[in-house]
Amino acid sequence: MPKRTFHRLDDDKKERIMRAAIEEFQAHGFEKAKIETIAQNAGVAKGSIYQYFDDKRELFLYAVTWGLEYFMKIIDRQTPLKDMDVYDYFLSSGRDRFELIKNEPLLVAFSTDVASGKYGTLTQEINNELGRVGEEYELRLIANGKKRGTIRDDLDDKVLLLFFQGVTEKFTMKIVEKVKDFKVEPTEEQFLEMEDFMKNMVSLLKQGMGR
Amino acid sequence: MPKRTFHRLDDDKKERIMRAAIEEFQAHGFEKAKIETIAQNAGVAKGSIYQYFDDKRELFLYAVTWGLEYFMKIIDRQTPLKDMDVYDYFLSSGRDRFELIKNEPLLVAFSTDVASGKYGTLTQEINNELGRVGEEYELRLIANGKKRGTIRDDLDDKVLLLFFQGVTEKFTMKIVEKVKDFKVEPTEEQFLEMEDFMKNMVSLLKQGMGR
DNA sequence: ATATAATATGACTGACGGGTCACATTGTAG
DNA sequence: CTACAATGTGACCCGTCAGTCATATTATAT
């Protein structure tokens, strides 16, 4: 969707522009984000931005997909998408996720906002597609769990999915929030705290809060 | 926060203005919402809006609190805030909540968006205050549950709170979404479906998804 | 009925920023 | 080195709309 000219840029410049864009959109939202500021922070002229993208909307949309693809690459490298048990889903990739949030807090925060629908109709298509893909994978996790007998089979998959999503999203948000407080390098202690947090979440997923 | 002039208006006019504002903000977001449109839909002149409010921001902020107070009145009338069991929390007030969403879909959707942080820094203060109040009540529910022995006591209240919020928020959102599909008056059948949905949620809260 | 205050109105203004464009700079081919 | 294409640049243009204000209307007081 960006123009040919953008693709011909060296990777450094491309990345500088995308990060500047994401930073600006994340800080001020779509409407109040200024192209001028993005250009300045990326070290290019305002006019150049329009050599690369038709308009603000396109720049934004590409920033979203750029961020997603960036994650895809990392996540694919980290956690092979084997069919695993729901309860292992987060635990197994806990350290990786923690690293990702720690190393790319801006990208994670931006993507979280996009996913939560903060950009309204702008990202509707992307969200639909993304939701579909995510759901597909999670539904497979649930189906697997039912087969293995680790998930109760008296409830509809859709209901279980909602439950699973509700819990995991909320906990992920909490972690993102926590990581923001790490002014410097997080300690091993902080990681252990996070791991404990994850274990509690999994325990709640599994056993619920009843007694 | 609105000017004296606004408070002197008859209730009809006040309500017309607030609903027009909420409709516009909900449809287009803060930045793209036009004062002119709000004025027209409320049947007043644009200049009049500025007799009532200092600026757009104030109008928006008051619309948020107006919506909340509107809810407070209804909810207070419906569900007396007695100390009840967590698991009864939603079930007991299910029909009332359903009615509310059915009768005031716009207000519910707007408030949901505000609560989910869709308006960014604009509503930060309100959200903080609201979050504090809500959490206080929910923590009391959790503490009660622990005392009664209906909630496991091996986990931190904060963790249980997160779990509870994650599940209930997601399910509430789903209901809001479903209600939007009722083009006309919802049937008893639809209500029963909703009730069943609630029961499943409570069951998941209680027992989790493990087997 | 007249004066005065309060409120209603919509044409107008000014700021803002997305997008353009004429010109400058750099890259490439012959 | 020259010509031509591709890319870079930022001053400028122009639509939009929040907010103003001079004037009209309505309410209140005497």
pLDDT per residue as tens digits for the range A96-105: 888 888 899 9
Cα A136 from chain centroid (whole Å): 17
Q: Is the pLDDT of residue B172 over 70?
A: yes
B45 touches strand C (CB under 7 A): yes
Which residue is closest to C9 in terms of CA–C1' distance? B45
In strand D, the nucleotides that come within 7 Å of a protein beta carbon are: 6-11, 17-22
Could B210 and A151 be called an inter-chain contact, meaning their C-beta atoms sit closer than 8 Å?
yes
Q: What letter represents residue B72's amino acid? A: M
What ranges make up the beta strands (E) of chain A?
none
Min Cα distance A207 → chain B (Å) is 4
Average pLDDT of A6-10?
97
Q: Measured between CB atoms, which of B86, B171, B205 is closest to A162?
A: B171
- For the CA of B34 and the C1' of C14, the distance in angstroms is 18
Task: Give pLDDT tens digits for B94-145.
Answer: 888 888 888 999 999 999 999 999 999 999 999 999 999 999 999 999 999 9
Contact B206 A210 (CB under 8 A): yes
pLDDT classification of A82: cutoffs 50, 70, 90: low
d(Cα A46, Cα A52) in Å, to the nearest integer?
Answer: 11
Is A20:A41 a contact under the CB 8 Å cutoff?
yes
Å between CA of B34 and C1' of D14? 20
Whether the Cβ atoms of residue B109 and residue B189 lie closer than 8 Å to each other: no
Q: What amino acid occupies position A120? A: G
* Cβ contact, residue pair A203, B156, below 8 Å: no
**A209–B164 CB contact, under 8 Å:** yes
Q: Which of B156, B206, B211 sits opposite A149 (nearest CB)?
A: B211
Q: Is B77 exposed, middle or buried (0-12, 13-18, 19+ CB in 10 A)?
A: exposed
Q: How far is the CA of B50 from the C1' of C1 (A)?
A: 33
Contact A166 B164 (CB under 8 A): no
Res B81 pLDDT > 70: no
Tell me if residue A162 falls in helix, strand or coil: helix
pLDDT in tens, A31-50: 999 999 999 999 999 999 99
Task: For A113-160, write each residue's pLDDT tens digit.
Answer: 999 999 999 999 999 999 999 999 999 999 999 999 999 999 999 999
The answer to whether the beta carbons of residues B186 and B102 sit under 8 Å apart is yes
The predicted model scores a pTM of 0.92
Terminal Cα distance for chain B, rounded: 54
